[in-house]
Amino acid sequence: MSLPIVVVTTTFYKSVSDLRYQLACETIRQARQHDYDIIVVDGSPDPAIRKTFTELGALVFQETTKGMGHSRRLAFFHALNHLYCTLKAEDGIIVWLEPEKHDLVRFIQEIIAAFRHNVVAVVPRRTKQSWETYPEFQQASERRANAAFSSAIGRVNLDVMFGPVAFLASRLWQLLLVCPTRFQYPDTYIQQFLLIQLLAAEQEVAAVNVNFIYPESSRQAETSEAAGGGPILAKRQEQERILSEAFRQAAGLLKAK
């Protein structure tokens, strides 16, 4: 499918010493090296972070309202505006990815290739080798949350906890105007709520395997934090608990519309 591609993400780092900031810089470099336009909405307190992102070639916008859902919606809106009003495209593909997952950029063409026939969204899916690059505790919690999504929606092949999703732009803009909290879904990981809307409406969502490699620096830091009794374990468990329940609630309410 020969459509323009816009990559989109959001960032928030307390300082340039944050490991995740360095990974985000690499994501922007990779996107630009592959000639993808990349939109970043940033809420970092240090303006030098936005300056660096801009110098690396990203189209950077400052976060205007605090909150994960607000910033992600803003990023999607900027991506749609860029696609339709700057590139003057009739349609296109918006690829959401988490800013630290730079290795995903090399798979974007494989993801886009899955847009065939009536497909309106594509969810990348980690292979066995990819899962093994993650900390063990994260593998466990994300597999359980994926199972909760499958149970709620009735689709067993979607790795929604991986994070990245590609949307057909002409279908995306309508979904963004639906408030997640109306359907008992937290205003946080809205890309998953967008998928729930599509699946509840029986729209075609495809999956594609990718041999993504989780950043080794992140794996080491998170494994060390967990071993030392840090908050990362509790964070993953809470994420699993909240999203698993949200998947069930939102899917039920949307199907009942």
pLDDT in tens, 70-107: 999 999 999 999 999 999 999 999 999 999 999 999 99
pLDDT in tens, 28-71: 999 999 999 999 999 999 999 999 999 999 999 999 999 999 99
Average pLDDT over residues 2-8: 95
Structure tokens at 201: 């409406």
Structure tokens at 151: 């149970």
pLDDT in tens, 222-241: 999 999 888 999 999 999 99
Distance CA 185, CA 119 (A): 24
Q: Which amino acid is at 155?
A: R
- In the chain, what are the domains? 5-255 (3.90.550.10)
Q: Which amino acid is at 60?
A: V
Is residue 159's pLDDT more than 90? yes
Strand order in the sheet with 119-126: 59-62, 37-42, 5-11, 93-96, 165-168, 119-126, 204-210
Signed CA dihedral, 195, 200, 204, 210: sign only = positive
Longest dimension (CA), the chain: 52
- From 223, 172, 214, 209, select the one nearest 193 (Cα to Cα): 172
Q: Are 74 and 192 in contact (CB under 8 A)?
A: no
